[in-house]
Chains A and B, each alone.
Chain A
Amino acid sequence: AQSVTQLGSHVSVSEGALVLLRCNYSSSVPPYLFWYVQYPNQGLQLLLKYTSAATLVKGINGFEAEFKKSETSFHLTKPSAHMSDAAEYFCAVSEQASGGSYIPTFGRGTSLIVHP
């Protein structure tokens, strides 16, 4: 079974500072990994995803993530935080279930707080 672990339920940064949100996965096969963002009172939307092409994945709103197989990590970064980045961020992995279906499994989420 695969799972994801997000280190830190809350991350606080100043506006303009580097954003680093951590995600580690456990998998015996190459995973498909995702980062989603949830703004207050809204549904989730995709930031970026890793599908075994380039290990450095660029997403929307200036975010990017690097797949590191040796560290089983897929950390999300942004060089300069903006107030509008304040949201809940979820790392997710596709996990194969019985019958050949894939179950999206989400981490517990990291709340990003941006200070002026």
Chain B
Amino acid sequence: DTAVSQTPKYLVTQMGNDKSIKCEQNLGHDTMYWYKQDSKKFLKIMFSYNNKELIINETVPNRFSPKSPDKAHLNLHINSLELGDSAVYFCASSQGRAPWETQYFGPGTRLLVL
């Protein structure tokens, strides 16, 4: 059973389109995250939700909008896709929001914007 799952695994789309990535965790965790990993493997946090409440929002363009319908799901919607949005997007979860919490990552969604 996959602990943190993401769909789709691959996403190829044209500039200007709108797309969504879905994430689900079955670990019973309270906190979920979205990360962006660029072509040089640099990993940067975008958003974090704790019990459906947004707690971290890191200087991400307004075209990116996270939504958490319940604490097991955190989706990412991207409007007006740009070439620079091409990256691997990782969802992660942790038991809580304490600084010592281990993060559990999904397998990633590879987004290519043409």
Q: Is the CB of B45 within 8 A of A103?
A: yes
Are A102's CB and B98's CB within 8 A? Answer: yes
Contacts of B40 in A (CB 8 A): 108
Q: Is the CB of A51 within 8 A of B55?
A: no
Q: Give B108's nearest chain A residue, CB to CB.
A: A43
Contacts known (A32-B100, A108-B40); A103 close to B106, Cβ less than 8 A: no
Q: Mark A77-116, 1 if CB is under 8 A from B, else 0.
A: 0000000000010100010110101111110110100000
Q: Please, how many angstroms separate the alpha-carbon atoms of A11 and B102 in the complex?
A: 25
Subset of 23 A-B contacts with CB under 8 Å? A32-B100, A36-B103, A38-B41, A41-B107, A41-B108, A43-B105, A43-B106, A44-B92, A45-B104, A46-B103, A51-B100, A94-B99, A94-B100, A97-B56, A101-B55, A101-B56, A102-B97, A102-B99, A104-B103, A106-B43, A108-B42, A109-B41, A111-B41
Across the A-B interface, the 6 shortest Cβ-Cβ residue pairs: A43-B105, A94-B99, A102-B99, A51-B100, A106-B43, A32-B99
